[in-house]
């Protein structure tokens, strides 16, 4: 008798763990969903150092993501072909003091968060900004994920490049949307995170474009409130910071953005695409801050920025976002969660999970990578993702070899690929996963390395009552299996591992043994 085929699954992060594609903007074109995002370099010294790549999946099968290749290189933009002496940047950022110099060759700017739309001529248009330069670039392609060619810069009717005009605000994180009537809306901008940074050419903006996809039809106008003008608006505490993304559901427009908290995606709603937005709520927070009253001091993962968008895929709405890794802001990975839109149009905040795009909980058997954890806290909780903040006091996600680009092409050639794991597990570390459908789970094997002596308690939702305990006593630079018996009732459950003891561990996989495996 043939054994049943193994059920395909997908988990967070949904792309291969060697791919660092944050700012994910999902779009369904035809029968596939495409992910357009920026592209971090693992262990890079700045955001988005790699070229744009794209992944896609069949809308009916989100378990298998196809690497579409590099779709646009940073050196295709003419502004990246000559060294620039212009070091002017928005006030909220101070690159020299915060991030250092020499991050790209002279004159080579990074490709930040993009968006893509199918234009009135049937071609696909990619809108992007080169890091701190104030303009919006546009590239075009005949297919959603082919080789995009540089088209030009968005400009005023008089030919002045948007962002260069005397009264223009700086452009940032463009979002593009074509309404049912054919009107083309372009959203852009960033705003201060802190009141001491108020001032300068910043703000949430909306404008419309001519059918050439480059020329402004209407001039930019302010859209969402910032901390400079939010009093009495309902946005207080969740004002616009960056990451404009727009969707239309029925007759309602949903504007998704990153708030001044940075680690959450919020939404606002209106019956018009370009005005009168009301604050809706938080969609997702990468530390589950705000969920059930949780504060930032109680975050379930390290904090940092997040950016993404909503999309309906095969009848189900999802929110796409990114998480932090490697004790830095510059090694971010794409994740996604199901969301539900209530009859009144509201959307409740959803928790970060390990199962993400999967059709329900993950199977409660088999081997899983430890890096799909949705909770990673030390004895003192979680802090901002940075070496200065975390030092070696907190656990973190990292990988075993340097970045390889383009990684997916390396895979095709048979090269060894990076593998991600949880590092620096010390006394009090909690690693958590949501969720699994357990049936007859009997024991668990953890693959660990390091120098440590103690115990790992296994929990489900009740963190006061262990379902089992594994004894740890290792001193090895190679991966070792540690196995223990557990008692978990059948059905869907979260899964948590808490280490108590001396030393430090790395954690790469766990195996759930069920049905007498």
Catalytic positions, written as ranges: 23, 242
The secondary structure of the chain in percent helix, strand, coil, rounded to multiples of 5, reads 5, 45, 50
* Kind of pairing between the strands at 396-399 and 420-425: antiparallel
- Token pair 């646009």 is found at 72
Q: Where does 39-158 have alpha helices with state H?
A: 95-98
Q: Which phi and psi angles does 388 have, rounded to 5°?
A: -65, -40
- Token pair 């002496």 is found at 85
* Interatomic CA distance for residues 479 and 398, integer angstroms: 16
Task: Assess contact for 368 and 362: CB atoms under 8 A.
Answer: yes
Which tokens belong to 39? 């592209």
Residue 41: closest CA among 422, 329, 383: 329
Per-residue 3-state assignment (H helix, E strand, C coil) for 326-369: CCCCCCCEEEEEECCECCCCCECCCCCCCCCCCCCCEECCEEEE
First vs last Cα of the chain: how many Å apart? 18
* Interatomic CA distance for residues 114 and 98, integer angstroms: 24
Residue 443 sits at the vertex; the CA angle it makes with 515 and 62, to the nearest 5 degrees, is 70
* Interatomic CA distance for residues 409 and 491, integer angstroms: 40
Residues with Cβ within 8 Å of residue 488, at least 6 apart in sequence = 364, 438, 441, 460, 467
DSSP 384-433: BSSHHHHTTTS-EEEESS---TTHHHHHHTTPPPP-EEEEEE-TT-EEEE
């Amino acid at each position: 008798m043939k054994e049943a085929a193994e059920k395909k699954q997908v988990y967070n992060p949904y792309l291969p763990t060697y791919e660092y594609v944050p700012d994910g903007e999902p779009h369904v074109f035809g029968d596939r969903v495409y992910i357009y995002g920026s592209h971090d370099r693992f262990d890079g010294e700045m955001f988005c150092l790699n070229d744009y790549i794209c992944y896609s999946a069949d809308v009916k099968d989100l378990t298998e993501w196809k690497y579409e290749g590099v779709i646009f290189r940073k050196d295709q933009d003419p502004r990246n072909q000559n060294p620039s002496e212009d070091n002017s940047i928005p006030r909220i950022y101070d690159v020299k003091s915060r991030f250092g110099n020499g991050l790209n060759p002279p004159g080579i700017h990074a490709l930040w968060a993009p968006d893509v739309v199918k234009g009135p001529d049937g071609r696909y248009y990619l809108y992007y900004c080169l890091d701190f330069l104030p303009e919006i670039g546009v590239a075009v392609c005949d297919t959603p994920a082919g080789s995009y060619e540089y088209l030009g810069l968005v400009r005023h009717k008089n030919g002045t490049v948007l962002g260069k005009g005397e009264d223009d605000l700086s452009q940032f994180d463009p979002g593009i949307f074509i309404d049912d009537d054919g009107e083309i809306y372009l959203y852009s901008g960033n705003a201060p995170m802190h009141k001491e940074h108020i001032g300068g050419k910043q703000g949430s903006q909306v404008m419309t474009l001519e059918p050439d996809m480059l020329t402004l039809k209407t001039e930019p106008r302010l859209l969402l409130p910032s901390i400079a003008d939010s009093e009495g608006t309902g946005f207080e505490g969740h004002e616009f910071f960056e990451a404009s993304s727009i969707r239309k559901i029925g007759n309602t427009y949903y504007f998704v953005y990153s708030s001044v908290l940075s680690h959450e995606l919020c939404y606002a709603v209106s019956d018009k695409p370009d005005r009168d937005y009301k604050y809706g709520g938080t969609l997702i927070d990468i530390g589950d801050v705000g969920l059930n009253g949780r504060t930032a001091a109680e975050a379930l993962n390290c904090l940092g920025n997040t950016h993404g968008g909503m999309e309906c895929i095969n009848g189900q709405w999802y929110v796409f976002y990114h998480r932090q890794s490697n004790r830095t802001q510059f090694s971010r990975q794409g994740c996604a969660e199901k969301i539900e839109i209530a009859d009144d149009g509201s959307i409740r905040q959803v928790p970060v999970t390990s199962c993400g795009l999967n059709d329900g909980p993950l199977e409660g058997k088999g081997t899983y990578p430890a890096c799909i954890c949705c909770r990673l806290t030390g004895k003192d909780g979680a802090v901002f993702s940075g070496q200065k903040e975390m030092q070696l006091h907190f656990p973190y996600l990292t990988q075993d070899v340097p970045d390889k680009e383009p990684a997916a092409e390396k895979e095709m050639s048979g090269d060894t690929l990076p593998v991600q794991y949880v590092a620096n597990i010390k006394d009090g570390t909690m690693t958590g996963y949501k969720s699994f459908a357990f049936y007859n789970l009997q024991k668990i094997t953890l693959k660990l390395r390091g120098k440590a002596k103690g115990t790992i308690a296994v929990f489900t939702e009740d963190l006061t009552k262990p379902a089992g305990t594994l004894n740890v006593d290792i001193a090895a630079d190679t991966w070792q299996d540690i196995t223990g018996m557990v008692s978990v009732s059948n059905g869907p459950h979260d899964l948590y591992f808490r280490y108590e003891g001396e030393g430090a561990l790395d954690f790469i996989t766990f195996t759930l043994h069920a049905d007498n495996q």
